[in-house]
Structures are given as C-alpha cells and as structure tokens.
C-alpha cells in the first residue's frame, strides 16, 4: 500500500502539503473553503475590479452548456484544441461506466484538432483506469504534470495529467 494508514494517511499527506508547503496568503481556494467567501485581496482574477472591463468586453464569447461532454461533442462537433476534464473520469471508472468512459474518449479523439491538449485530475497515482486505446494515443507530459501537481493549491488529487493527442 502507498499509505500505511490508507485513506486517512493520504488525506493527512495532502493537507500537510497544502498547509506547510504552499503559501496561504493567495490560496483563495482554501480561504473560501474555511471562511465561505472570497476576500478582496485573495480571489480569482475575474473577481478583481481591474479585470472587470476586460471581462465585460469578452463576456459575449462565453457560452454555457449543461450536459455531459459526450452529449456536447455529439451536438457540437468541431476541431477543439483543449479538453479540460477535471476529475469526472474517476467517477465514470468508479461507477463501472466503462462504456461511457470509452465513448467519451472516442468522441474526444474524433473532435480533437491536431496536437490538441488534454488535462485531467484524478485520485489515482497512475491513469490506469483509462482505456488502453487512450493510453496508446495520448502523449502524457510527465514533467509538466509533476510541476502542476507540486503547485496545485487545492492539493487533494493524487495526479494531474497533461497530454497531447
């Protein structure tokens, strides 16, 4: 086992990293978790007054969708250059939704522009839950992933993976 204390040991390591190795003065994630709100001097850039004009000028470019990535790619096919998947693939794998995971990746490949980037987080140290055809086609950048993982201000994921399709 990676952690003799199991899940408890893993959580302890994550929290130790966040609270002893990362600066808390600008960690708006954890400040919001603790206090329930952002502070004027510790918040995402889009909430800072100096960025309101730029945001206002570009707000028409923002489109929101409320459906799965699979449904989105079926309805809005295209040549996308970036896929930010966060951690939802853990849930598909954990809930034995292998077919859904495979279909999603097939649609990602069908809709990826040449050299498209993919980023996801996972509670797994290695992305072994990914279908074999994904691990064969995506070139993961372990160096970039290690840097991202070491500087992650949330600090609760075992792995951050960055790859090129």
Write out pLDDT tens, residues 2-54. 777 888 888 898 889 889 988 888 899 999 999 999 999 999 999 999 999 99
Say which CATH topology domain 63-165 has: Rossmann fold (3.40.50)
What Å distances lie between residue 114 and 38, 62, 97, CA to CA?
39, 24, 28
Write out pLDDT tens, residues 59-109. 999 999 999 999 999 999 999 999 999 888 888 877 778 899 999 999 999
Q: Taking the domains of the chain in order of start, what are their residue ranges?
A: 1-60, 63-165
> With contact defined as beta carbons under 8 Å apart, do 66 and 72 qualify?
no
């Amino acid at each position: 086992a990676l952690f003799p204390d199991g899940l408890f040991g893993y959580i302890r390591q994550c929290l130790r990293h966040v609270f002893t190795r990362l600066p808390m003065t600008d960690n708006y994630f954890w400040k919001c978790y603790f206090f329930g709100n952002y502070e004027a001097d510790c918040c995402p850039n889009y909430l800072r007054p100096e960025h309101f004009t730029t945001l206002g000028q570009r707000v028409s470019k923002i489109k929101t969708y409320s459906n799965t990535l699979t449904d989105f790619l079926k309805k809005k096919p295209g040549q996308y250059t970036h896929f930010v998947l966060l951690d939802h693939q853990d849930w598909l794998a954990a809930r034995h939704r292998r077919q859904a995971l495979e279909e999603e990746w097939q649609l990602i490949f069908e809709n990826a522009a040449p050299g498209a980037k993919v980023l996801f987080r996972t509670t797994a140290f290695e992305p072994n839950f990914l279908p074999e055809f994904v691990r064969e086609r995506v070139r993961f950048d372990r160096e970039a992933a290690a840097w991202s993982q070491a500087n992650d201000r949330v600090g609760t994921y075992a792995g951050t993976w960055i790859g090129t399709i």
